[in-house]
A and B are shown apart, each in its own frame.
Chain A
């Protein structure tokens, strides 16, 4: 039962352009969402999060948008840089206020110079 889905396994963009990574979820009880970034041979690192009481959260070049009615969130990276090339996972806690995260499958972002 994949409650968090990332339907695009890969995305390629040019340096300086916008990267948009998408994530859909099925459980309407999810109230908090996180994005993690993972480089090869390293563990995932926390990137940005959003609470369900907001529809947008911004941190520098990274913005996460949440559309609760569509059960959809997206991560925007502007401008994209080659160092952003990584696998991006969206995740949500399985229980309210818990750290038992359920993860999407991940999207490999490649930013070309």
Chain B
């Protein structure tokens, strides 16, 4: 049981490049989400999904796309990387999407640098 797996762990991009951050969970969780962590700002929600085929925007969705074709996978795409997207990205999942009794499980993060 690996939990939430994120790849890659580290990535350096040039401005304008695109890439996909991978996230997979093996806990059969319906709810998945992406957060970014920046110094002094806590974690901010980018996108989330309550089940396969359903996605929605969080607080800071601009510049990112997501899709949820399977229960297990929730990739995050950067369309055209900008230095402002330099951050640590965390994928998280939970069983039901209900905070009560179903806390989020986080992956170990992807540290992204955009030059």
Contacts and interface: CB of A to CB of B under 8 A. Distances in A.
Contacts of B102: 99
Contact of A34 (B59, B99, B105): B99
Contacts, number: 71
Interface in A14-70: 32, 34, 36, 41-46, 49, 51
Interface string B81-115: 00000000010101011111011111111000000
Interface residues of B, number: 29
Do most interface residues of chain B lie in helix, strand or loop, or is the interface mixed? loop
A43 B42 contact: no
B78 interface: no
B42 A51 contact: no
B4 A101 contact: no
Interface of B: 4, 31, 33, 35, 40-45, 48, 58-59, 90, 92, 94, 96-100, 102-109
Interface of A: 4, 6, 9, 32, 34, 36, 41-46, 49, 51, 89, 91, 93-94, 97-106
